[in-house]
Structure 1
Amino acid sequence: MPTLEELREKLDQVDDQIVELYEQRSKLTEEVGEYKIRNGIKVFDRQREHDKLQNVAAKATTDFNKKGIREIFEQLMSISRKKQYQQLVEAGALGRLPFIEVDSLHAEHARIVFPGTEGAYSQAAMQDYFGENCNSFYVRTFRDAMESIEEGAADFAVLPIENTTAGAVDEMYDLLVEFENYIVAETIIPITHTLSGLPGTKLSDIERVYSKGVALMQASRYLDEHSDWQQISVANTAIAAKKILDEQDMTQAAVCSAYAAKVHGLEILEDNINDNPNNFTRFIVVTNQKIFLKDAKKISICFEVPHESGSLYHLLSHFIYNDLNMSKIESRPIEGRNWEYRFFVDFEGNLADAAVKNAIRGLREESRSLKILGNY
């Protein structure tokens, strides 16, 4: 019976042969890539690969080996495709992506829309990015803001997309798919909630507290200390502050920002009532133009995957092979298709980079659909 070392030596010999055969195969697939480029043939042929996997798996002698051979050849063909996409880039066959590179957003004369009302966190984010004197107006909902820029009533919209404690703003992801609007910038601001009421209000007067549902959740520890207060959800924190002002009822208070309290003439009864003092929200700046800043460093995309084993894994491997750092992935259910999901990915890069073009080409070829949400 051979020793372990003897068995390992034999394995090494077989592995050397595998490496040699892999390099032979790689050279042949490069020749295939050159032929496809010359003749305008698509890199990815789903039916050809399906048939090939069936054929090679059938040659294995056991069920276990059939699965192993299939997995190996899935990887081999996936690697070959990525090499052929690189060949397309090197041959200049990818062309330009349908986005225009710009030096600046030329926002000095732009009209900006934000959701909510005066004093909303979205307004604070807008002023953080565009300055306090920007030409702006507000609408009631995220959808209203997206419609405003799609229709041309505004040049840019400032909208929340992610909070450090509440997570992703799911509605925004859905709206980015629905509308032909694109992310061109982002800004991150701290979220610090106050309990605010009419001037002269005492904590003992309060019976009802109004705010956005997420804000009530983010201040739950403080509010739980006052279990006799009724918590009522409204559209956003600034609307809660305005409600207190409009109704002039000292039994009511709002969970809102200090800025909203100031705008609506409220008195801060308690400051910094967040459960988590490190609470931040990321806002995106959206426009209806397919543009990106020359120094943009982050790309957001979304795609759907075939409902089959390994499909997401193979798509995400395009980031690995192009040395692109993926910083975020979210999933959302696809309406009308039970148990199927659309994936949203953020990764580092610029649309002018060859590696980015290569990855996007591969993702577009192999996914059910792909949309570039923006480069910023």
Structure 2
Amino acid sequence: MRSLQDSRNEIDKIDEEMIKLFERRMEVCRDVADYKLKTGKPVLDRKRELEKLEALKGKASDDFYAHGVEELFEQIMSMSRKMQYKLLTEEGVNNDIGFDIVDSLDCEGARVVYQGLPGAYGQQAATEYFGEKAEYINVTTFREAMRYVRDGKADYAVLPMENSSAGIVTDVYDLLVEFSNYIVDTFDIKIEHCLCGLPGTKIEDITEVYSHPQAFMQSNKFIEEHGWNKVSLANTAISARYISEQTDKRRACIASENAAKIYGLDVLYKGTNFNSTNTTKFIIVSREKITRRNAGLICISFEMPHASGTLYQMLSHIIYNDLNMTRIESRPVPEKKWEYRFYVEFEGKSNQAGVINALSGINAESLNMKILGNY
């Protein structure tokens, strides 16, 4: 029987030969990139790749090796494309993704729109970020806020993107794709829900509570312990206003302390949410394609061909360019059964070579890629 060391030595020799052949192949790919640069041909030619893979598989001695050959050359072809994107970027092709760099956002006198009534967490986020010298507009829906920005009725919108307990705000993700507005910054607000009631109300009086579904989700344990009936309203501030208009002390709401103050309610219990670190991340949205000089995150959306391995191929562009992915979410694509749109966030700046390379690759190989912001 052959010794293990002899086998390992032979594998080492084969690996060295494979490396030389790989580098030789990649050098030829430089010529391919040069040709495509001069002729304007796209880097990805999937029809040619599939034909090539079938031919290579046919040269394998059995099905097991055929599958391995297919996987190996998929990776080699992928690396070839990535090198070609890099070379094209170095030659000035697709190396500007169109963001204007600014030192900071212009907050003084800015028209800022948020969803909900005064007292909503959106108002809190807006006023804490933009300060006293901004002009504030409140609207009923997230869509209306995005429309205000798109149409120039507001300079910025402040919208919730994710809560640390309840997860993403799916409607906002969908609207980022629908509207040509861009995320220009994010801002975190610590959420402390309160049980609020009419002046003089006692907890033992309550039988019914009103609030937004996410506030219920975040305060579910507290509510279940008391056995109260839940009634959903559009947001926590609307719930506070509704209770302020009632005369029945059996009704209360889950809202912020600020909302209770605005609508003249008593705070009966602070911290109804079970997670003391409960935080909501808000995004600052502009119609201008701008990025702050110290921005460090890119967010994109894309769809993909419905085929095995395509998500990996998209994400491999981020890995290959040494970028750190910080988030991935998926949402169903409307009117396309069992197809999904992916939202990916990764570290980087819009003028960074690795970012441009990654975006060039994803844009060429995915469907409907959109840059949602650099913030």
* TM bin (shorter chain): over 0.9
The 2-side partners of 1:109 and 1:354 are apart by: 36
Q: Which residue of 2 aligns with 1:343?
A: 342
Deviations 1:282-314 (A, max 9, x none): 000111121211221111100011111111101
How far 1:204 moved relative to its partner? 2.1
Normalising to structure 1: TM-score of the pair? Answer: 0.97
Q: Which deviates more from structure 2 when the two are superposed, residues 199-208 or residues 316-325?
A: 199-208
In structure 2, distance between residues paired with 1:288 and 1:92 = 27
Cα distance, 1:68 vs. partner? 0.5
Matched, 1:6 2:24: no
* Alpha-carbon shift at residue 133 of structure 1 (Å): 4.1
Question: Partner of 2:62 in structure 1?
Answer: 62
Residues 184 and 291, structure 1, Cα contact 8 Å, conserved in 2? yes
Q: Secondary structure at the match of 2:44?
A: coil
Distance 2:349 2:201 in 1: 53
The unaligned stretches of length 5 or more in structure 1 are none
Partner residue, 2:290: 291
Q: Kindly provide the amino acid, as one letter, of the partner of residue 301 in structure 2.
A: C
Report the Cα offset of residue 230 of structure 1. 1.4
Partner of 1:90: 90
Cα distance in 1 for partners of 2:176, 2:16 equals 50
Q: Is the 8 A contact 1:160 1:283 kept in 2?
A: yes
CA distance in 2: counterparts of 1:276 and 1:203, whole angstroms: 21
Counterpart of 2:296, as a letter, is K
- For 2:144, the equivalent position in structure 1 comes to 144
* Aligned residues of 1:128 and 1:187 also touching (Cα < 8 A): no
Q: Which residue of 1 aligns with 2:176?
A: 176
> 1:66-215 residue pairs with structure 2 within 5 A?
66-215=66-215
Amino acid at match of 1:147: R
Q: Which residue is 1:247 aligned to?
A: 246
Q: CA deviation at 1:5?
A: 2.1
Q: TM-score, normalised by structure 2?
A: 0.97
1:274 counterpart = 2:273: yes
Shift of 1:248: 3.4
- Aligned-residue sequence identity (percent) comes to 48
Structure 2 distance, partners of 1:83, 1:210, is 57
**How many residues of Structure 1 are paired with residues of Structure 2 in the alignment?**
375
How far is the alpha carbon of 1:263 from its aligned partner?
1.2
What's the secondary structure of 1:136's corresponding residue? strand
1:218 aligns to what? Answer: 218
Mapped pair 1:260 → 2:253: no
Contact 2:109–2:133 (8 Å) recurs in 1: no
Deviates more, 1:33-42 or 1:363-372: 33-42
What CA distance in whole angstroms lies between the structure 1 residues aligned with 2:182 and 2:358? 19
The 8 Å contact of residues 182 and 287 in structure 2, kept in 1 or not, is answered as yes
- Report deviation, 1:84: 0.9
Query: Which position in structure 2 is the counterpart of 1:49?
Result: 49
Please, which moves more after superposition, 315-324 or 124-133? Answer: 124-133
Distance 2:11 2:92 in 1: 42
SS at match of 1:327: strand
Aligned residue number for residue 33 of structure 2 = 33
CA contact (8 A) 2:192 2:278 kept: yes
Moved more, 364-373 or 149-158: 149-158
Residues 318 and 363 of structure 1 are in contact (CA less than 8 Å); yes or no, is this contact kept in structure 2? Answer: yes
* Secondary structure in structure 1 of the residue aligned to 2:363: helix
In terms of mean alpha carbon deviation, does 304-313 or 130-139 score higher?
130-139
Where 2:136 maps in the other structure, the secondary structure is strand
Conservation of the 8 A alpha-carbon contact between 2:198 and 2:266: yes
Amino acid at match of 2:302: F
